[in-house]
Structure 1
Amino acid sequence: MATRRNLNRSLLLALGLAGALLAAPAFGQAYPTRAVRIIVPFAAGGPADIYARFIAQRLQEAMGQPFVVEDKPGAGSVIGTDVVAKAAPDGYTLLLMSNTHTVNETLVPGKPFALMRDFVGIAPINYSDLVLVANPALKASSIKDLLKLAKAQPGKLNYASSGVGTPYHMAGELFKSMAGVYLVHIPYRGSSGARTDVIGGQVDMMFDAVTTMVDQIKSGKVKAIATTGRQRSDVLPDVPTVNESGVPNYEATIWLGLMAPKGTPKAIVERLNEAVSRIASQPDVKQAWGRQGATPMVMNAAAFDKYLQDDIAKWAKVIKSANIKAE
C-alpha cells in the first residue's frame, strides 16, 4: 500500500514537472493577453512618434492585442524614459528609444536611470541618414573643399543644430573629431530656426534629416555636401557620403529601437524581437520607409544590446573629447 502511494506521488510529481516544462514556452507564446503601452519620450508628431505608431499598428495586427502609443516628452527624453524604468517588467510597458538615449548616458550623468542597468534591449527598428548642407555662398561644395577651407581658417566656419546633444549636434562633433577640423557650434532651440539661418546665410552649414532638406536642396536654397550613412542615401543617390569623401568610417544616423524594463522575461523579449524583425523585413515596409529615407534594422536582442553598448562608448568618447555639457 505504501509502495503504491509512493508510486502515485512520484507519478504526480512527474506529471507536474512535465506540465511545467510544457507551460514554459507557452508563457512567451501567450503574451500579450491585454493592451501594451509604448512610451515615446519625445514630442508628438516627430519621427519617433510616427514610427512608434506604425510599429504599434503592425504589432497589434500580428499579436492580437492593442499596442497603444503614449507621448511623454520632456527633459531631453528623461521624463518618459524614467516612467518605463519604473514600470513592472512584464512586457506591458515598452520604451521607444533612439540614439538620444545612448548620447544621454554620458551627457546627462545625473538622470535617475542607466540604460544598460535598468533596461533590456528588444529590437532596433530603423535608421535614417542625415545630410550636411551649406548655404550656397559657402566656398566649398564637397568634403574635400570643406576640409581645406576649415583648416585654412580654423574657427571661422560654423554649423547650426537644433540643440546641444541632439543627433544633429553630435553628427557635427563627430565630424570635427574625425576630420581634425574646428567648426563653431551654434545651437538653436529646434531645427526650424537653424534651417532658416543656414538658408539665409547667417550660419554656414548644418546636419539635418535627408527628407527634410531634399526639397531645399533641389530648389537650390542650400547645397548638399555629403550624407552621413555608410552607403549613399536612396533619397539623394548622387550625393556622396562623408565616409567616401575623405573621412573614413564616419557614420552618424538617427536610429530607433524598443527596450523594456530590466527583468522582463526572456520569452517575451524574444517574442517581441521576432515580431518587430518580421515587420521590418516585409517588402512593403522597406519600400515605405525607403521613401521616407529610413532603412530597416534587424538583429536579435543580444546583438541589439551589443549595438547599444558600442553606441554609448562611441558618443562618450566624442562628448568627453569635446567637453560637451548639457544645457
Structure 2
Amino acid sequence: MMKRRDILIASASAALAAGARAQVGGAPVRILVGAPAGGSTDTLARTLAASMGPVLSRTVIVENRPGAGGNIAAEAVARAAPDGNTLLMSFTSHAINATLYPQLPFDPVKDFSALTCVATSPSVLVAHPSVPANNVRELIALAKAKPGQLNFAIGGIGSSLHMAGDAFKMQSGTFIVNIPYRGTAPAVQDVLAGQVQLMFAAVGNVQSHVKAGKLKALGVTTARRLPSLPEVPAIAETLPGYESSAWFGLFGPAGLTPDVARRLSDAARQAIAQPEMRKRLETEGAIPVGNSPDQFTEFVKSEIVRWGKVVKFSGAKPE
C-alpha cells in the first residue's frame, strides 16, 4: 500500500501537472487555417502541428476555414476565448488585408497575440521563353518600350504574389497588365503555355520548370540570391530595396496571459528548430524563421505599412 507521504507527493505532482496543462487549456489545440487543404499554408500548418504536439504534450489539430483572403479564419480566432486552445496560421494577406478591405471585422494587430513567424517563402519572377528579355534590366526596358503589351498572371487578387508584381511595377515605373486567376496552378499552366508572358511564383512551384528550360527565371524577390537558384540575380540588384517574400505566422487571440503566450510561442519555435521540421519546410521552398513574439509583432506592423502603399498603388479591390 502507498504511504501517506507518497500519496501526498503523488497528489501534489498530479495537481502541478494539471495546473501546467491548464496554462494552455486541456482540450486539443486547434490551428485554424484561412486557406484550402493542400496549399502551402495548410501544409505548413500541419507540419507545425505535428511537431508542436509532442513539445506541448497536447493534441494539435488543423482546421481549414478558407475564404475572404484568410479573414474568415482570422475573425474566428480574434473572437475565440484567450485560453490558448484556438490559434491561427496566417500568411502575408493578414497584413495586405488591412488596406485591401475597407472594413475588417477585426484589427490585425490589436485583436491578436503574435506568437512567431514560422517561415518565409521567396518567389521568383519567371517568363515564358518567348519573352525577349533575359534579366530584370532587359524586362524593364521592354516594358517601357511597350507599355501595356506585357502581362502578369496572378494567382489571386490581393495575394502576396499579386502585390509582388505591383511592387515591381511601382518601383520600376512600368505598366504591365494583370491577368487574374483563381489559384496559382492555372496561372502557372498558362505561363507555361505562353498564354501569359510573366508571373511571380513561389520558388517551389516553378523551380522544376526553370531547370527544365520551360520558363526563364529573371530574378528572385529576396534581398540576396538564393542558394537554390544561385545563378538567378536578386531583383534588388537592379531595383535597390526591392524585396517581397510571402510569410506564414502563428497567432493567438488577444488577451493571452504572458505565460500561455510564452508556452505556445516556445513550443512553436522549438518545433521549427527541429531538423525534421526544417528539412520539411525547405522541401516546400520555405525558409524557417521562429522569431520572438515581440519581433513578430513589430514585423506585422511594418508589413501593414509596406503593403498598404502597394495596395493603394495597385487599386486592387477584394474579390
Number of aligned residues: 302
Hey, what does 1:321 align to over in structure 2?
A: 313
Hey, what does 1:81 align to over in structure 2?
A: 74
Which of 221, 225, 230 in structure 2 is aligned with 1:228?
221
Which of 278, 283, 300 in structure 2 is aligned with 1:308?
300
On the 8 A contact 1:35/1:66 being kept in 2, the answer is yes
Q: If the length of structure 1 is used for normalisation, what is the TM-score?
A: 0.88
SS state at 1:149 partner: helix
On the 8 A contact 1:32/1:65 being kept in 2, the answer is no
Give the drift of 1:30: 4.5
CA distance in 2 between partners of 1:303 and 1:104 (Å): 21
Hey, what does 2:256 align to over in structure 1?
A: 264
CA distance in 2 between partners of 1:51 and 1:61 (Å): 17
Could you tell me which amino acid in structure 2 is paired with residue 268 of structure 1? V
Question: Structure 1 residue 291 and structure 2 residue 255: aligned?
Answer: no
Give the drift of 1:323: 2.0
Question: Structure 1 residue 114 and structure 2 residue 107: aligned?
Answer: yes
The structure with the largest alpha-carbon Rg is 1
> What stretches of structure 1 of length at least 5 have no aligned partner?
1-22
CA distance in 1 between partners of 2:101 and 2:21 (Å): 35
Could you tell me which amino acid in structure 2 is paired with residue 85 of structure 1? A
Q: Is the alpha carbon distance of 1:287 and 1:92 closer, same or farther for their aligned partners in structure 2, counting shifts above 3 Å? A: same
CA distance in 2 between partners of 1:79 and 1:254 (Å): 19
Q: CA offsets per residue over residues 60-105 of structure 1, 9 Å max, x none?
A: 1111010111111112212122111111011110011110111011
CA distance in 1 between partners of 2:89 and 2:114 (Å): 11
Question: Structure 1 residue 160 and structure 2 residue 159: aligned?
Answer: no
Which of 191, 196, 199 in structure 1 is aligned with 2:192?
199
Hey, what does 2:7 align to over in structure 1?
A: none
Q: Is the alpha carbon distance of 1:112 and 1:135 closer, same or farther for their aligned partners in structure 2, counting shifts above 3 Å? A: same
On the 8 A contact 1:38/1:68 being kept in 2, the answer is yes
Hey, what does 1:253 align to over in structure 2?
A: 245
User: How large is the RMSD of aligned CA atoms in angstroms?
Assistant: 1.7
Give the drift of 1:233: 2.4
CA distance in 2 between partners of 1:74 and 1:30 (Å): 31
CA distance in 2 between partners of 1:239 and 1:28 (Å): 49
Q: Which runs of 4+ in 1 moved over 6 A?
A: none
Q: If the length of structure 2 is used for normalisation, what is the TM-score?
A: 0.90
Hey, what does 2:273 align to over in structure 1?
A: 281
On the 8 A contact 2:220/2:233 being kept in 1, the answer is yes
